[in-house]
Amino acid sequence: MWIVFVLEYSIEIALWPDRKAYARKNWLSLAGIVLSFPLVPAMLSPDAVGAAGAGCCGWCGWWG
């Protein structure tokens, strides 16, 4: 399903006369595509962050 959104955005930006204006106007669509990439939620999960040993205790991610 994710690839459908990427394809739609790519076609729309290719057909738009001013690509920068399109990207500025539709920034939320691009953010949704990037954040919904299948690996992003897995990388941001508490298990993945804890496994990386990030933060003071590996759970909260804060170095305090």
DSSP of 9-30, one letter per residue?
HHHHHHHSS-HHHHHHHTHHHH
pLDDT digits (tens, 9 = 90+) for 9-64: 999 999 999 999 999 999 999 998 888 777 766 666 666 555 555 555 555 555 54
pLDDT the model gives residue 16: 93
Q: Does 61 fall in a domain?
A: no
Report CA-CA distances (Å) from 37 to 16, 29, 32, 57. Answer: 24, 13, 9, 28
- What pLDDT does 7 receive? 93
Residue 15, in any domain of the structure = yes
Is 32 within the bounds of a domain? yes
Residue 46 per-residue DSSP state? H
Residue 29 lies in a domain: yes
Residues spanned by the domain of 22 = 2-51
pTM for the model stands at 0.56
